[in-house]
Amino acid sequence: MFANLRAEIILVLTTLLAAAGWVFSKQAIQGLPPFGFIGLRFVTASLILLPFCLPALRRASLGDILRSMGVGVFLGGSIFCWIYAIAISDTLGEGAFIMSLSMLFVPLVAWPLFGNKPSRAFWTSLPIAIVGLFLLAWNGEWRVAASQLWFLLAAVGLAMHFNFNSQYSAKLPPMLLTTLQLFTTGCLGLLLSYAVEDWPQVVSGETWKWFGLSVLLATSLRYLMQTVGQKHANPTNAAILMLLEPVWTMLLSVWIYSESMPLNKIVGCVLLLSSLLLYRISNLRR
């Protein structure tokens, strides 16, 4: 009982770190190019996690390693869409709720890819999510912001990553899998930054502080805590607790960036959260 409670507390703290990562990233890209920031952040985080999975790395086959890194390309594509959306948006809370829909998109993506038809729970939850998205985009008139589309694209990318990850990367331990895919994303970010971005001549100490917080707290420590928490927590409780991330992100965005949350956006966020809650609970009871 105590072990389960401790694991659930760890998962709650994990969602707080994930939410804080949105703020750390937003602050860091004020002084660093977005793709370059992602590249440095994920490569550094993967090197910090590497000592924890060296034994597993030595036992892994080259084919499994390359396959997992290949799947990491989908993670990279999603993260690049996400960081670009953050760069052009002041509504982090709204973006976090859109990104949380990635788990609802998983069965929709799996249907054409692998022929797995979505469950009844999916079709029940989807209309609720659509209404929620409509309310987020409603501002006296129907107007979809560019950042919302990029967040939505990032969510679809995460759903694709989840599907391919489940199909092709099950042979590796979670920590090693995470480290390899973070490293892949980081390398792709650095290559993309080299191709399309200009770096500033001088980067302030304040920017490096936010970068350090992103690496140490929002990436390395977060993934380590998530692995530990999910290992010991009840799967049902763990899945529900992970839904707290967009809630914390919205609260932080309102507090730090004075994000406007009119009634339609509040109702939209509640509907998105409700659709995810309904979908997860229905699936876990099967």
Please, which pLDDT band fits residue 57 given cuts at 50, 70 and 90? very high
Q: What is the pLDDT of residue 170?
A: 66
pLDDT digits (tens, 9 = 90+) for 223-245: 888 877 877 777 667 777 888 89
Whole-structure pTM value: 0.90
Is the pLDDT at 2 greater than 70? The verdict is no
Q: What is the pLDDT of residue 220?
A: 87
Q: What is the pLDDT of residue 235?
A: 65
Is the pLDDT at 171 greater than 90? The verdict is no
Is the pLDDT at 73 greater than 90? The verdict is yes
Two tokens at 80? 């690049």
Is the pLDDT at 135 greater than 90? The verdict is no
Domain boundaries, the chain: 1-285
Is the pLDDT at 39 greater than 90? The verdict is yes
Percent of the chain with pLDDT over 90: 51
DSSP state letters, the chain: -HHHHHHHHHHHHHHHHHHHHHHHHHHHTTTS-HHHHHHHHHHHHHHHHGGGGHHHHHHS-HHHHHHHHHHHHHHHHHHHHHHHHHHT-S-HHHHHHHHTTHHHHHHHHHHHHH--PPPHHHHHHHHHHHHHHHHHHBSSSB---HHHHHHHHHHHHHHHHHHHHHHH-TTS-HHHHHHHHHHHHHHHHHHHHHHH----S---HHHHHHHHHHHIIIIIIHHHHHHHHHHHS-HHHHHHHTTHHHHHHHHHHHHHH-----HHHHHHHHHHHHHHHHHHHHHHT-
pLDDT digits (tens, 9 = 90+) for 266-277: 999 999 999 988
Mean pLDDT of 158-176: 82
Q: What is the pLDDT of residue 16?
A: 95
